[in-house]
Amino acid sequence: MTPTPLNLPLCEFDLIDRIRRRLGAQADVVLGIGDDAAIVQPLPDCQLVVCTDTLVKGVHYPPETAAADIGWKALAVNLSDLAAMGARPRWVTLALTRPEADEAWLEDFLDGFLALVITHGVALVGGDTTRGPESITVTAFGSVPPEQALRRDAAQLGDDLWVTGTLGDAALALQHWRDTGRIDNDLLAAQLNRPTPRIAFGLALRGIAHAAIDVSDGLLADAGHVARASSLGIELHADALPASDELAAMSALARQGLQLAGGDDYELCFSAPAESASQVQSVAAACDVRVTRIGRLVGGSGIHVLGADGEVISLSDQAYRHFAS
Protein backbone atom coordinates (compact mmCIF):
# COMPACT_ATOMS: atom_id res chain seq x y z
CA MET A 1 0.00 0.00 0.00
CA THR A 2 1.51 3.33 -1.08
CA PRO A 3 1.13 5.91 1.68
CA THR A 4 -0.74 9.01 0.56
CA PRO A 5 1.37 12.17 1.03
CA LEU A 6 -0.05 14.26 3.85
CA ASN A 7 -0.66 17.26 1.60
CA LEU A 8 -3.01 15.25 -0.66
CA PRO A 9 -6.40 14.84 1.02
CA LEU A 10 -7.92 11.38 0.78
CA CYS A 11 -11.30 11.33 -0.88
CA GLU A 12 -14.21 9.48 0.71
CA PHE A 13 -13.65 6.45 -1.52
CA ASP A 14 -9.93 6.20 -0.63
CA LEU A 15 -10.83 6.18 3.06
CA ILE A 16 -13.46 3.49 2.57
CA ASP A 17 -11.00 1.42 0.55
CA ARG A 18 -8.45 1.60 3.39
CA ILE A 19 -11.01 0.27 5.84
CA ARG A 20 -12.12 -2.48 3.46
CA ARG A 21 -8.57 -3.70 2.82
CA ARG A 22 -7.99 -4.37 6.53
CA LEU A 23 -10.98 -6.70 6.84
CA GLY A 24 -11.16 -10.45 6.24
CA ALA A 25 -13.99 -12.53 4.79
CA GLN A 26 -16.69 -14.10 6.97
CA ALA A 27 -19.04 -16.91 5.87
CA ASP A 28 -22.31 -15.23 6.87
CA VAL A 29 -21.35 -11.94 5.18
CA VAL A 30 -22.55 -12.38 1.60
CA LEU A 31 -21.54 -8.87 0.47
CA GLY A 32 -19.47 -6.51 2.63
CA ILE A 33 -18.18 -2.99 2.05
CA GLY A 34 -18.51 -1.56 -1.45
CA ASP A 35 -22.14 -1.59 -2.58
CA ASP A 36 -25.21 0.48 -1.64
CA ALA A 37 -25.76 -1.88 1.30
CA ALA A 38 -24.25 -5.01 2.85
CA ILE A 39 -25.91 -8.44 2.70
CA VAL A 40 -25.69 -10.86 5.62
CA GLN A 41 -27.36 -14.26 5.86
CA PRO A 42 -29.08 -14.79 9.23
CA LEU A 43 -31.17 -17.75 7.99
CA PRO A 44 -30.88 -20.06 4.96
CA ASP A 45 -33.91 -18.54 3.18
CA CYS A 46 -33.42 -14.85 4.00
CA GLN A 47 -30.60 -12.41 3.51
CA LEU A 48 -30.41 -9.24 5.57
CA VAL A 49 -29.45 -6.07 3.68
CA VAL A 50 -27.83 -3.37 5.83
CA CYS A 51 -26.84 0.22 5.10
CA THR A 52 -26.08 3.36 7.06
CA ASP A 53 -25.82 7.01 6.00
CA THR A 54 -25.15 10.19 7.97
CA LEU A 55 -26.49 13.68 7.28
CA VAL A 56 -24.35 16.49 8.72
CA LYS A 57 -25.87 19.97 9.05
CA GLY A 58 -24.26 22.39 6.60
CA VAL A 59 -22.63 19.54 4.66
CA HIS A 60 -25.56 17.40 3.53
CA TYR A 61 -28.32 19.97 3.99
CA PRO A 62 -28.45 23.77 4.22
CA PRO A 63 -28.51 24.94 7.87
CA GLU A 64 -31.97 26.48 7.42
CA THR A 65 -33.57 23.20 6.30
CA ALA A 66 -36.85 22.54 8.15
CA ALA A 67 -36.62 19.82 10.81
CA ALA A 68 -39.40 17.79 9.14
CA ASP A 69 -37.44 17.79 5.87
CA ILE A 70 -34.26 16.65 7.68
CA GLY A 71 -36.24 13.80 9.26
CA TRP A 72 -37.64 12.75 5.90
CA LYS A 73 -34.30 12.94 4.11
CA ALA A 74 -32.33 11.07 6.80
CA LEU A 75 -34.57 8.07 6.30
CA ALA A 76 -35.13 8.52 2.56
CA VAL A 77 -31.42 8.32 1.68
CA ASN A 78 -31.11 5.02 3.54
CA LEU A 79 -34.29 3.55 2.08
CA SER A 80 -32.94 4.57 -1.32
CA ASP A 81 -29.88 2.37 -0.73
CA LEU A 82 -32.16 -0.55 0.16
CA ALA A 83 -34.21 0.15 -2.99
CA ALA A 84 -31.02 0.00 -5.04
CA MET A 85 -30.41 -3.50 -3.65
CA GLY A 86 -33.96 -4.67 -4.41
CA ALA A 87 -34.48 -5.16 -0.66
CA ARG A 88 -37.68 -4.85 1.35
CA PRO A 89 -37.15 -2.35 4.21
CA ARG A 90 -37.84 -3.86 7.66
CA TRP A 91 -36.15 -2.08 10.58
CA VAL A 92 -34.21 1.15 11.18
CA THR A 93 -32.16 2.69 13.99
CA LEU A 94 -31.68 6.43 14.49
CA ALA A 95 -28.62 8.14 16.00
CA LEU A 96 -29.41 11.79 16.68
CA THR A 97 -26.82 14.41 17.65
CA ARG A 98 -28.07 17.91 18.52
CA PRO A 99 -26.48 20.89 20.31
CA GLU A 100 -29.46 21.15 22.67
CA ALA A 101 -32.62 19.24 23.61
CA ASP A 102 -35.37 20.98 21.65
CA GLU A 103 -38.81 19.44 21.90
CA ALA A 104 -40.39 21.43 19.05
CA TRP A 105 -37.51 20.57 16.70
CA LEU A 106 -37.79 16.88 17.61
CA GLU A 107 -41.55 16.78 17.01
CA ASP A 108 -41.09 18.37 13.58
CA PHE A 109 -38.18 16.04 12.79
CA LEU A 110 -40.37 13.04 13.71
CA ASP A 111 -43.20 14.30 11.46
CA GLY A 112 -40.93 13.88 8.44
CA PHE A 113 -39.16 10.74 9.64
CA LEU A 114 -42.30 8.88 10.70
CA ALA A 115 -44.18 9.78 7.52
CA LEU A 116 -41.73 7.55 5.62
CA VAL A 117 -41.69 4.94 8.40
CA ILE A 118 -45.45 4.56 7.94
CA THR A 119 -45.38 4.64 4.13
CA HIS A 120 -42.83 1.82 3.98
CA GLY A 121 -43.95 -0.19 6.99
CA VAL A 122 -40.55 -0.15 8.71
CA ALA A 123 -40.06 -0.20 12.48
CA LEU A 124 -37.77 2.22 14.33
CA VAL A 125 -36.19 -0.19 16.80
CA GLY A 126 -33.48 1.85 18.53
CA GLY A 127 -30.70 4.35 18.19
CA ASP A 128 -28.67 6.80 20.22
CA THR A 129 -29.08 10.43 21.33
CA THR A 130 -26.08 12.66 22.00
CA ARG A 131 -25.22 16.34 22.42
CA GLY A 132 -22.95 17.95 19.77
CA PRO A 133 -23.00 19.56 16.31
CA GLU A 134 -26.16 18.49 14.51
CA SER A 135 -25.95 15.22 12.58
CA ILE A 136 -28.29 12.31 11.96
CA THR A 137 -27.25 8.75 11.27
CA VAL A 138 -29.78 6.14 10.21
CA THR A 139 -29.04 2.45 9.81
CA ALA A 140 -31.58 0.54 7.75
CA PHE A 141 -32.14 -3.21 7.59
CA GLY A 142 -34.00 -4.87 4.74
CA SER A 143 -34.57 -8.41 3.55
CA VAL A 144 -34.12 -10.17 0.25
CA PRO A 145 -34.40 -13.83 -0.82
CA PRO A 146 -30.94 -15.39 -1.35
CA GLU A 147 -29.24 -14.51 -4.66
CA GLN A 148 -31.91 -11.95 -5.64
CA ALA A 149 -30.29 -8.71 -4.47
CA LEU A 150 -29.39 -6.19 -7.18
CA ARG A 151 -25.66 -5.62 -6.90
CA ARG A 152 -23.29 -3.14 -8.52
CA ASP A 153 -21.02 -5.85 -9.86
CA ALA A 154 -23.59 -7.78 -11.92
CA ALA A 155 -23.96 -5.64 -15.06
CA GLN A 156 -23.39 -7.56 -18.30
CA LEU A 157 -21.96 -6.63 -21.66
CA GLY A 158 -24.71 -5.26 -23.93
CA ASP A 159 -27.10 -4.40 -21.08
CA ASP A 160 -29.12 -1.23 -21.45
CA LEU A 161 -28.53 1.40 -18.76
CA TRP A 162 -31.66 3.02 -17.32
CA VAL A 163 -32.47 5.68 -14.77
CA THR A 164 -35.68 6.50 -12.89
CA GLY A 165 -37.25 9.95 -12.51
CA THR A 166 -35.35 13.06 -13.58
CA LEU A 167 -31.77 14.07 -12.80
CA GLY A 168 -30.20 17.31 -11.62
CA ASP A 169 -33.17 18.90 -9.82
CA ALA A 170 -31.68 18.64 -6.34
CA ALA A 171 -28.40 20.07 -7.61
CA LEU A 172 -30.27 22.99 -9.20
CA ALA A 173 -32.13 23.60 -5.92
CA LEU A 174 -28.81 23.65 -4.08
CA GLN A 175 -27.41 26.08 -6.65
CA HIS A 176 -30.44 28.39 -6.11
CA TRP A 177 -29.88 28.23 -2.38
CA ARG A 178 -26.15 29.02 -2.72
CA ASP A 179 -26.87 31.96 -5.05
CA THR A 180 -29.80 33.50 -3.17
CA GLY A 181 -29.99 31.87 0.29
CA ARG A 182 -33.46 30.60 -0.68
CA ILE A 183 -35.10 27.93 -2.80
CA ASP A 184 -38.07 29.67 -4.42
CA ASN A 185 -39.27 26.76 -6.51
CA ASP A 186 -41.42 24.25 -4.56
CA LEU A 187 -40.72 21.44 -6.98
CA LEU A 188 -36.95 21.85 -6.71
CA ALA A 189 -37.15 22.19 -2.92
CA ALA A 190 -39.12 18.95 -2.78
CA GLN A 191 -36.53 17.17 -4.95
CA LEU A 192 -33.73 18.32 -2.63
CA ASN A 193 -35.46 17.89 0.73
CA ARG A 194 -37.97 15.12 0.12
CA PRO A 195 -36.44 12.55 -2.25
CA THR A 196 -38.65 9.56 -3.02
CA PRO A 197 -36.96 6.23 -2.32
CA ARG A 198 -37.90 3.91 -5.21
CA ILE A 199 -38.73 0.95 -2.98
CA ALA A 200 -41.58 -0.66 -4.94
CA PHE A 201 -39.70 -0.31 -8.22
CA GLY A 202 -36.48 -1.74 -6.69
CA LEU A 203 -38.47 -4.80 -5.60
CA ALA A 204 -40.08 -5.06 -9.04
CA LEU A 205 -36.65 -5.00 -10.71
CA ARG A 206 -35.57 -8.23 -8.97
CA GLY A 207 -35.24 -10.88 -11.66
CA ILE A 208 -35.29 -8.25 -14.45
CA ALA A 209 -32.33 -5.92 -13.78
CA HIS A 210 -28.77 -7.23 -13.60
CA ALA A 211 -27.15 -4.41 -11.59
CA ALA A 212 -28.42 -1.34 -9.74
CA ILE A 213 -27.19 1.62 -7.73
CA ASP A 214 -28.91 4.71 -6.40
CA VAL A 215 -27.71 8.07 -7.72
CA SER A 216 -26.56 9.93 -4.62
CA ASP A 217 -23.16 11.33 -5.60
CA GLY A 218 -24.00 12.24 -9.22
CA LEU A 219 -24.65 10.00 -12.23
CA LEU A 220 -21.06 9.94 -13.50
CA ALA A 221 -19.70 8.83 -10.14
CA ASP A 222 -22.43 6.30 -9.42
CA ALA A 223 -22.65 4.79 -12.91
CA GLY A 224 -18.85 4.71 -12.67
CA HIS A 225 -19.15 2.45 -9.61
CA VAL A 226 -21.31 0.01 -11.62
CA ALA A 227 -18.86 0.04 -14.55
CA ARG A 228 -15.85 -0.53 -12.30
CA ALA A 229 -17.49 -3.22 -10.16
CA SER A 230 -18.70 -5.05 -13.28
CA SER A 231 -15.37 -4.64 -15.16
CA LEU A 232 -17.12 -2.96 -18.10
CA GLY A 233 -17.44 0.47 -19.67
CA ILE A 234 -20.58 2.57 -20.12
CA GLU A 235 -21.73 4.64 -23.09
CA LEU A 236 -23.99 7.40 -21.85
CA HIS A 237 -26.14 9.56 -24.14
CA ALA A 238 -26.07 13.10 -22.74
CA ASP A 239 -29.19 14.23 -24.58
CA ALA A 240 -31.18 11.23 -23.33
CA LEU A 241 -30.82 12.21 -19.66
CA PRO A 242 -34.32 12.83 -18.25
CA ALA A 243 -34.95 16.46 -17.25
CA SER A 244 -37.71 18.26 -15.39
CA ASP A 245 -39.25 21.33 -17.05
CA GLU A 246 -36.98 23.52 -14.90
CA LEU A 247 -33.85 21.85 -16.25
CA ALA A 248 -35.20 21.49 -19.78
CA ALA A 249 -35.37 25.31 -19.93
CA MET A 250 -31.61 25.62 -19.32
CA SER A 251 -28.77 25.49 -21.86
CA ALA A 252 -27.66 21.94 -22.69
CA LEU A 253 -24.26 22.50 -21.10
CA ALA A 254 -25.61 23.82 -17.80
CA ARG A 255 -28.32 21.16 -17.70
CA GLN A 256 -25.99 18.27 -18.44
CA GLY A 257 -23.49 19.48 -15.84
CA LEU A 258 -26.18 19.26 -13.16
CA GLN A 259 -27.51 15.95 -14.45
CA LEU A 260 -24.14 14.25 -14.73
CA ALA A 261 -22.27 15.61 -11.72
CA GLY A 262 -24.90 17.02 -9.36
CA GLY A 263 -25.77 14.81 -6.41
CA ASP A 264 -28.75 14.03 -4.21
CA ASP A 265 -31.02 12.65 -6.95
CA TYR A 266 -31.81 9.37 -5.16
CA GLU A 267 -33.01 7.84 -8.40
CA LEU A 268 -32.15 4.28 -9.37
CA CYS A 269 -29.64 3.66 -12.15
CA PHE A 270 -29.78 0.06 -13.34
CA SER A 271 -28.71 -2.24 -16.12
CA ALA A 272 -30.99 -4.78 -17.79
CA PRO A 273 -30.72 -6.99 -20.88
CA ALA A 274 -31.86 -5.21 -24.05
CA GLU A 275 -34.58 -7.85 -24.58
CA SER A 276 -36.14 -6.91 -21.21
CA ALA A 277 -36.82 -3.30 -22.25
CA SER A 278 -40.59 -3.71 -22.55
CA GLN A 279 -40.73 -5.56 -19.21
CA VAL A 280 -38.80 -2.68 -17.60
CA GLN A 281 -41.31 -0.22 -19.08
CA SER A 282 -44.31 -2.17 -17.88
CA VAL A 283 -43.13 -2.65 -14.26
CA ALA A 284 -42.19 1.04 -14.19
CA ALA A 285 -45.71 1.95 -15.36
CA ALA A 286 -47.18 -0.35 -12.69
CA CYS A 287 -45.09 1.44 -10.03
CA ASP A 288 -45.91 4.86 -11.50
CA VAL A 289 -42.19 5.56 -12.01
CA ARG A 290 -40.72 7.29 -15.05
CA VAL A 291 -37.83 5.33 -16.60
CA THR A 292 -35.43 6.40 -19.33
CA ARG A 293 -32.86 4.40 -21.24
CA ILE A 294 -29.68 6.49 -21.06
CA GLY A 295 -26.96 4.24 -22.41
CA ARG A 296 -25.50 0.76 -22.47
CA LEU A 297 -22.75 -1.41 -21.05
CA VAL A 298 -19.78 -1.81 -23.38
CA GLY A 299 -16.37 -3.45 -23.28
CA GLY A 300 -13.43 -1.58 -21.78
CA SER A 301 -13.74 0.71 -18.81
CA GLY A 302 -14.96 4.13 -17.71
CA ILE A 303 -17.89 6.28 -18.74
CA HIS A 304 -18.02 7.63 -22.28
CA VAL A 305 -20.50 10.49 -22.59
CA LEU A 306 -21.81 10.84 -26.14
CA GLY A 307 -23.39 13.92 -27.68
CA ALA A 308 -26.33 14.09 -30.10
CA ASP A 309 -24.22 13.00 -33.09
CA GLY A 310 -22.51 10.20 -31.21
CA GLU A 311 -19.37 12.27 -30.63
CA VAL A 312 -17.56 11.72 -27.30
CA ILE A 313 -17.95 14.68 -24.92
CA SER A 314 -15.04 15.21 -22.60
CA LEU A 315 -16.11 15.95 -19.04
CA SER A 316 -14.18 16.01 -15.82
CA ASP A 317 -15.72 13.94 -13.05
CA GLN A 318 -17.01 16.61 -10.70
CA ALA A 319 -19.13 14.37 -8.52
CA TYR A 320 -19.26 15.55 -4.98
CA ARG A 321 -16.53 14.01 -2.84
CA HIS A 322 -16.73 14.75 0.85
CA PHE A 323 -13.03 14.51 1.52
CA ALA A 324 -11.74 16.18 -1.63
CA SER A 325 -10.75 19.82 -1.22
Per DSSP, the three-state class of 289 is: coil
In whole angstroms, the minimum distance from the beta carbon of 155 to ligand ADP comes to: 16
Rounded CA separation 224/227 (Å):
5
Nearest Cα to Cα of residue 198 among 32, 38, 29, 36? 36
Q: For ligand ADP, which stretch binds (CB under 6 A), given 29-37, 88-96, 174-182, 193-201?
A: 29-37
DSSP code of residue 26: -
216 near ligand ADP, rule: CB under 6 A: yes
Contact between 40 and ligand ADP by CB under 6 A: the answer reads no
Q: Which of 10, 16, 66, 115 binds ligand ADP (CB under 6 A)?
A: 16
The C-alpha atoms of residue 258 and residue 166 are separated, in whole angstroms, by 11
Which of residues 31, 55, 72, 81 is near Mg ion by CB under 5 A? Answer: 81
Kindly state the DSSP code that residue 87 receives in the 8-state scheme.
P
Q: What number of other Cβ atoms are within 10 A of residue 98's Cβ?
A: 18
**Contact region for Mg ion (CB under 5 A) — 78-86, 195-203, 282-290, 313-321?**
78-86
267 binds ligand ADP (CB under 6 A): no
Q: Which does 246 bind (CB under 5 to 8 A by kind): Mg ion, ligand ADP, none?
A: none
Residue 53 within binding range of ligand ADP, rule CB under 6 A: yes
Select the span of 30-38, 167-175, 252-260, 288-296 touching ligand ADP (CB under 6 A).
30-38
Backbone torsions φ then ψ of 112, nearest 5 degrees: -70, -45
Give which of ligand ADP, Mg ion, none residue 34 binds (C-beta under 5 to 8 Å, depending on kind): ligand ADP
Q: Rounded to whole angstroms, how far apart are CA atoms 24 and 200?
A: 34
Site string for Mg ion, 177-216 (x = CB under 5 A): -------------------------------------x-x
Binding residue for ligand ADP (CB under 6 A) from 30, 36, 260, 283? 36
CB nearer Mg ion, residue 169 or residue 214: 214
* Dist CA 318 CA 199 (whole Å): 28
In three-state form (DSSP H/G/I as H, E/B as E, the rest C), the secondary structure along 213-229 is EEECCCHHHHHHHHHHH
Pick one of 36, 160, 265, 267: the residue that binds Mg ion (CB under 5 A).
Answer: 36
One-letter amino acid of 190: A
267 contacts which partner out of ligand ADP, Mg ion, none, CB within 5 to 8 A by kind? none
Nearer to ligand ADP among residue 56 and residue 110 (C-beta): 56
Regarding 81 and contact with ligand ADP (CB under 6 A), the answer is yes
Print burial letters for 278-313: b (CB count within 10 Å at least 16), e (below 16). Answer: ebbeebbeebebebbbbbbbbeeeebbbbeeeeeee
What burial letters (b/e) apply to 107-138, b meaning 16+ CB within 10 Å? ebbbebbebbbeebebeeeeeeeeeeebbbbb
| Interacting residue ranges for Mg ion, rule: CB under 5 A | 36, 81, 214, 216
Residue ranges that bind ligand ADP, judged by CB under 6 A: 16, 19, 33-36, 53, 81, 216-217
